[in-house]
Structure 1
Amino acid sequence: MRVLTFLHSFEPGGVERVALRLHRAWLAQGVDARLVLGRTKGAMRSEWPGLEADVFDSHGVPTAAWETLWMMLRLPGAIRRHRPDVLFCAGNSYTVVAVTMRLLLGKRCPPILAKISNDLARTDLPAPARPFYRQWLKIQGRMLDRLVGMAAPMRAELETLMRAPPDRVAIIDDPALDEAQIAHLEALPRPPRDAAGGRRFLAIGRLAAQKNFPLLLRAFARIARGDDRLTILGEGSARKSLEALARSLGIADRVDLPGHVNPVSAALLGADALVMSSDYEGVPAVVPEALAAGLPVVATTCSVSMGDLLGQGRFGLLVPVRDAPALAAAMDRITSLPFDSAAARAQARRFTVEIAAQSYVVEMQRLAHG
């Protein structure tokens, strides 16, 4: 079976990292897995040495600003060259490309398996935009052959909002990490902490609107004590505005923005809690990583799956989206609550690539031979 995965670049992103992890696992399992890239730039490039990919040559013309259109223009040729049995769409940000392939190629388009990587309700959208968004979801539900949700609570969303028949929906827990990472995190000692030291809050994600880091900064400013620190790992277009907000809130000396960091194991082990302030997510990979590190989580209800991910309150606290006082109160409480690290690691083991890769192969074989 030949599988073709398409990605824009090596720019940091949970969708891209999971897709590359699955691609590598499929190769190890003997699948004829092919990868096409719009460009080779991106901070994650060094994480995947020796990775073979078909890269679209732009002859020196920058394509980052119009990467989706660039992929739409070049992917049909790659499909004709590689002749895949299945086209793998890695996440919601790529579904517009997948739907375009179906429209352009018609019956020549291979079956499309799409991983749905974000919350579908999208209550963050302006009210006038929501009817158009809901219609777009229905179009995807008609055009994409198999939809994969990343946790069981997503099934109802896929069947209701995308109008997908049950037999075209599969649930495969998000391959956020692998067994080697869990063993590595379990074996590493936690850095010694000064009993009088402050609390260490950690957030990880692109510095983009979806992650709503301004909410996190405002919540931290409400409860920060003198020695408390907040570290946000990631890079993006919102950096300057976040730095300015931290200064205006008087917390710039307690907020660190070191950029994209990989691996994040040292940061996880050095923190007291992971905080997720997003407006919307699917099953964010960083949460299983935090659980594997024995770290409690404070998160907004940014996904229908978040309660399941946090063991219905066993591994963290949930607060409403865009509620700074509630987020601040949860951050203030989280470090004083009991936490079962062993149970958290067991929860994290649901989300390994060893389990997910084979499940994807089964779904793709059904699609290719169905």
Structure 2
Amino acid sequence: MGRSISIYLTSMDVGGVQRVALNLCTGLVEKGHDIEVVLVNAEGELLNELPEEVSVIDLGEDRVATTVFPLRRYLNRKNPDVLYAMMTEINIIATIAHRLSRVDSRLILSEHNMPTNSIDSKKDLAVMKLATLTYSLADHAVAVSNGVYEDLLNVSRLSESKISQVHNPININRIRTDASEQVSHRWLNNDDYNVVISAGRHVPQKGFDTLIESFSRVKDENLRLLILGKGDETESLKEIATNLGIKDRVEFPGFVENPFAYISRADVFVLSSQYEGFGMVLVEALACGCAVVSTNCPSGPEEILKGGEYGPLVPVGAVDELTSGIERVLDSPPTSDELESRARDFAVNKIASEYEDVFFNTM
């Protein structure tokens, strides 16, 4: 018999945590559970992608902090079997509202990035101190990678027995369907070119400057580079490509509606990040059957690629090593069957079962 699970997060704008929530909803609905998504503000492109069985609760606030009492009222009315909170500020407010409501719902928190990598200001430091004070009031917590687990253990007052490591789920069927759609880009439809691809916000964390320089050192005039996404660094990244004399071989298509159609037609996907919480885009690239190269950044890539078994891992910021990794994959690519087999370890149904275990069987 299904149980009632409420998933609390900011919105359904396009983002990593929101995609995790969407995939988790899909998996839990398929297992017969009653799912409600409780949002600080019910907005975002991914709202329309939620399964029709999922109810959306709009707390109607502009800030996470002001949802304490609306969330408390919701909990008193619904009293779900599980309240699952996603990300640090949401976790703190969920803990306070849960405490004030005095319901018997199990409270499960989750961290999707290493907490210490999120401290960039005095506000971030204050949030982390609040997390340290409140997290121990929860029934359990989820960390999405080993690095996040270790970091959470160090900064919170949670014991090892109160934290479970559960990787992020991906919807393989959806990815494969999207990957099969046509793309009109001239490089991806021309066998004369090999294409290196990456994707993400154009911010320092993603290490795209390292990727561009590494790409420039690959001795192949028919190699091309696509970097999907956009951000504050887009113009400076274009300038780097110009200064390296490769601006005609590098393109920045911006955000594309269906990145999987691009990735599935590329020859190599590169994750050049300085750090990640998990690196879900690597798993998505594997599901597309695209070979991958990644920095061995904290945290996630080493777990996803099993220490390099499914793609080269190189040190963060190491330009020559990243160049060599790209060249190795181009010279001797793995089969798409190998890559897709690894991606299935993160399939929605499998990960949803692991979440069921955390929600209902942990102490």
TM-score bucket (shorter structure): 0.7 to 0.9
2:79 aligns with one of 70, 80, 83: 83
Residue aligned with 2:293, SS = strand
User: For the residues of structure 1 that align with 2:233 and 2:6, how far apart are their CA atoms?
Assistant: 33
Does structure 1 conserve the Cα–Cα contact (< 8 Å) formed by 2:89 and 2:127?
Answer: no
Coordinate RMSD, CA, aligned: 3.6
Between the aligned partners of 1:293 and 1:262, the Cα distance in structure 2 is: 16
The TM-score with structure 2 as length reference comes to 0.81
Tell me by how many angstroms 1:20 deviates.
1.4
Distance in 2 of aligned mates of 1:236 and 1:71: 29
1:35 matched residue in structure 2: 37
Residues 230-254 of structure 1 show CA distances to partners (whole Å, capped at 9, x for unaligned) of 2222244444444444444444333
| Equivalent residue for 2:161, pick from 157, 162, 167 | 167
Of 9, 23, 37, the residue aligned with 2:25 is 23
Partner of 2:274: 279
Q: CA deviation at 1:144?
A: 3.7
Q: Shift of the alpha carbon at 1:125?
A: 6.7
Counterpart AA for 2:83: L
Quick check: 1:102 aligned with 2:95? yes
* 1:350 to partner: Cα distance: 0.7
The size of the alignment, in residue pairs, is 354
Rate the CA distance shift 1:214–1:131 in 2: closer, same or farther, 3 A.
same
Partner of 1:44: 46
- TM-superposed CA distance for 1:30, in Å, is 2.3
Partner Cα distance (2:49, 2:246) in 1: 33
C-alpha separation in 1, matches of 2:341 and 2:273: 25
Q: 1:152 to 1:253 in 2, by over 3 A?
A: same
Paired with 1:165 and 1:26, the residues of 2 have a C-alpha distance of 27
SS in 1 for 2:331: coil
Unaligned runs of 5+ in 1: none
The separation in 2 between residues aligned to 1:243 and 1:340, in whole angstroms, is: 33
* Superposition pairs of residues 199-278 of structure 1, within 5 angstroms: 199-223=194-218, 225-278=220-273
Tell me if structure 1 keeps the 8 A contact 2:8–2:90. no
Query: Identity rate of aligned residues, in percent?
Result: 27
Compute the displacement of 1:276 (Å).
0.8
Residue 139 of structure 2 is aligned with which of 142, 145, 156?
Answer: 145
Higher RCO structure, 1 or 2 (CA under 8 Å, sep 6+): 1
Provide the C-alpha distance between the structure 1 equivalents of 2:206 and 2:69, rounded to a whole number of angstroms. Answer: 30
Task: Tell me which residue corresponds to 1:7.
Answer: 9
CA distance in 1, matches of 2:357, 2:347: 16
3-state SS, counterpart of residue 294 of structure 1: coil
Q: Does the 8 Å contact 1:203/1:274 carry over to 2?
A: yes
Q: CA 1:85/1:202 → structure 2, altered by over 3 Å: closer, same or farther?
A: same
Q: Structure 2: which 5+ runs fail to align? A: none
- Secondary structure of the residue that 2:225 maps to in structure 1? strand
Query: Could you give the per-residue CA deviations for residues 256-310 of structure 1, whole angstroms, max 9, x where no partner exists?
Result: 3223334333112211111111121122221112112222211112234322211
Q: Structure 1 residue 349 and structure 2 residue 344: aligned?
A: yes
Alpha-carbon separation, structure 2, partners of 1:186 and 1:100: 38
